[in-house]
Amino acid sequence: MNSDQRLILVGMVAAVVFSALFVFGGQLLLGSSDLTIALPGDRIAYALACDFWAGLALLAGVARVAGQRFFSNEVDGSLPAEERTLQVNRAYIQNTTEQLLLLLVAHAGLSQVLPAESLSTIPLLVALFLVGRITFWLGYRHSPPARAFGFATTFYPTVAVFLYVGFRLVWG
Residue 155 pLDDT grade (very low, low, confident, very high; cuts 50, 70, 90): very high
What count of Cα atoms within 13 Å lies in the side-chain half-sphere of residue 41?
0
> d(Cα 166, Cα 160) in Å, to the nearest integer?
10
For residues 77-106, give the mean pLDDT: 87
The reported pLDDT for the residue numbered 8 is 96
The reported pLDDT for the residue numbered 35 is 80
For 36-89, what is each residue's pLDDT tens digit? 888 999 999 999 999 999 999 999 999 999 998 887 766 555 555 568 889 999
CA 163 to each of CA 48, 54, 88, 148: distance values in angstroms, whole numbers, following the listed order? 20, 21, 30, 21
What is the rounded radius of gyration, in angstroms, for the C-alpha atoms of the chain? 18
List domains and CATH numbers for the chain. 3-171 (1.20.120.550)
The reported pLDDT for the residue numbered 84 is 85
The pTM (predicted TM-score) of the whole model is 0.92
For 28-38, what is each residue's pLDDT tens digit? 998 777 788 88
The reported pLDDT for the residue numbered 69 is 84
